Structure 1
Amino acid sequence: MSEKYLIGVDGSEQSRVALAWGLARATERRAAVELLHVADDSFLSESVAFLSEAQSASEQMLQAETEYARSLGFAGTITGTAVVGHPIAEVEEASKRADLLILGAHGGSRFAGSFFGTRAVKAAATAHCPVAVIPQRDVAPNAGVVVGVDGSEASRKAIAFAAEEASQRGVPLIAVYAWMPPLTPGLEYLWSEELVESQRAAAEEAIAIGVAGLAERYPDLEIERRILQSAPVAALVQSAEGAEMLVVGSRGRGGISRLLLGSVSHGVLQALPCPVVVTRA
């Protein structure tokens, strides 16, 4: 069965960058595409007349973006959904029927700068499939696919996704493990060179375990291992500048974690050094 990509559209420049990226990927993978436009009902009257007008506007937007997708030369299967509702709730529901959700790098909504951050962050936290957020950035030639490694199950899922992606694209897989000594005031003296070396050894072991088996599965895949003494978000963002893609793992859904991403996922989605994919644990 072929994959299905769900692409959020709203006619903006950011949305069309993501649409073009998603259509190019769908062409390569022979995936089906579903376009989704949600008319935000947050400020709308609940009267039948207002909701009817909103639904009509949503359908017109969907039609325009479907025509734009065809104008880009995409010849694959395109379906569309136009709804009125809360964007995050509607995207979450629609993600149940997708293999990948693709969004543009919008700055957020009226909640921008709040505790929950941008809509892309909230969508990545609630979606039932991996989420790709696409910025307006140039990709350096043969820049590779960067993946965050920390030894967790979420990290292993991210590595599997990133390795398959790098193999498909014929670019290196760059596995990044970042660590920092505890910054406890007055206790810096406890961090001897021996303890630092033990941390490095643990990092090397985590990467080795994380990439184990990839050479057999992808014989031609070049794997670069980077161990950086830096905050994880800073290390990943720096490593991914101009990269083909940055992949990070989310630890799953449940309770309040449905609304909050981990600090690393949240941080890289705020920075967006390149297309970022958040995988599900």
Structure 2
Amino acid sequence: MKDTIVVGVALHSEAGRRSGQRAIAWAAERAMDRRQRLELLSIVGGAVGMVGEAHLIDQARDDLRSQLEAEARTLTDAHPDRLDVRVRVDHGNPVAKLIDASKDAALLVIGSDFRGDAGPARGPHGIRIAAGSHAPVVVIPDADPGARSGVVVGVDGSDLSERAIAFAAAEADRLGEALITVIAWSPMEVSRNPGLYPPEYLDALARLSEESLGLSLAGLSSTYPDLRIERHVERGYPSEAIEVYARRARLTVLGSHGRGAIARFLLGSVSEEVLRRLPSAVAIVR
């Protein structure tokens, strides 16, 4: 069984260092709770094979390794006998290298310098990593979690949604938090009188969504008898409904709908939209 949490750490800037430390702290807590190994991984970028680059790469690797080893010592000194921390420095395309590292990982954790609504939406790198990863990915924003509570999971009745629920329930149980489940529905768009829908049609959509949510959660209470589960059935676009709850949550869990060699590098639209805004720490489950 895969038992290593890989943390992608960018130490090339103050923002990268700060977000990397938040990712390390999150991953270390989970590793201790789940008794998993922790691997801190940094990537030296640059054009492979450029003339005269080898010496610079070696220097950069040595510097990164020293910084990672210092982070590892800080963790093991603070938590003696509770953490097995290893460090690794690689060279190449950071996105490709992190995706490759995920093949042997139980979980991939990356930090983000995104700081909430005050800044622009996230760039493509975190989204590409989450879409291409072979393991679940958790993206940690550069923001103080503060008084956040609860683990949010988006539900749509699919098999992948079931895996997201399982991941979210395990995390909520581990953290002693409520599991906040959200399913969203909206009426079919029509060009003529779009605001006029028969009430029975809207009631039926809401009822079907509520039934789908109930079926998706069947059996959770027996697996986690002490877990508090909230059920929310919302009319509206899924990513917007999820974000309302995610803004106050410790973690938001979503499924990636990528399939196949090419589709694996594409996130579902809902997952991508939530990840771009990063309202909380976000886990993408495959």
TM-score (norm 1): 0.89
Distance 1:131 1:270 in 2: 14
Taking a change above 3 Å as real, the CA distance of residues 211 and 64 of structure 1, as seen in their structure-2 partners, is same
Distance 1:136 1:56 in 2: 28
Distance 1:81 1:121 in 2: 23
In structure 1, the partner of 2:50 is: 46
Taking a change above 3 Å as real, the CA distance of residues 257 and 117 of structure 1, as seen in their structure-2 partners, is farther
The yes-or-no answer on 1:266 pairing with 2:269 is no
Native 8 Å contact 1:55 1:82 kept in 2: no
Q: State the 1:6 CA deviation.
A: 0.3
Deviations 1:15-41 (A, max 9, x none): 111111111221222210111111112
In the TM superposition, 1:7-86 aligns within 5 A as 7-11=7-11, 12-42=17-47, 46-47=50-51, 49-72=52-75, 73-75=78-80, 76-86=83-93
In the TM superposition, 1:1-281 aligns within 5 A as 3-11=3-11, 12-42=17-47, 46-47=50-51, 49-72=52-75, 73-75=78-80, 76-106=83-113, 117-139=123-145, 141=147, 143-188=149-194, 191-280=197-286
Taking a change above 3 Å as real, the CA distance of residues 138 and 206 of structure 1, as seen in their structure-2 partners, is farther
Q: State how many pairs are aligned.
A: 272
Distance 1:129 1:55 in 2: 29
Distance 1:279 1:211 in 2: 17
Which letter does structure 2 place at the counterpart of 1:165? E
Gaps of 5+ in 1: 108-112
Taking a change above 3 Å as real, the CA distance of residues 68 and 52 of structure 1, as seen in their structure-2 partners, is same
RMSD (CA atoms) = 2.2
Native 8 Å contact 1:7 1:33 kept in 2: yes
Native 8 Å contact 2:99 2:134 kept in 1: yes
Distance 2:154 2:172 in 1: 14
SS at match of 2:104: coil
Taking a change above 3 Å as real, the CA distance of residues 232 and 189 of structure 1, as seen in their structure-2 partners, is closer
Q: State the 1:60 CA deviation.
A: 1.9
Gaps of 5+ in 2: 12-16, 115-119
Taking a change above 3 Å as real, the CA distance of residues 52 and 180 of structure 1, as seen in their structure-2 partners, is farther
Which letter does structure 2 place at the counterpart of 1:57? A
Distance 1:188 1:151 in 2: 26
More displaced, 23-32 or 269-278?
23-32
Deviations 1:152-195 (A, max 9, x none): 11100000000111111111101100122233332426621111
Distance 2:65 2:205 in 1: 52
Native 8 Å contact 2:2 2:105 kept in 1: no
Deviations 1:64-104 (A, max 9, x none): 12312322424411222211111111111110110000000
Q: Percent identity?
A: 37
Deviations 1:233-264 (A, max 9, x none): 11111111131110001124424322221111
TM-score (norm 2): 0.88
SS at match of 2:53: helix
Which letter does structure 2 place at the counterpart of 1:60? D
Which letter does structure 1 place at the counterpart of 2:191? P
Native 8 Å contact 1:138 1:242 kept in 2: no
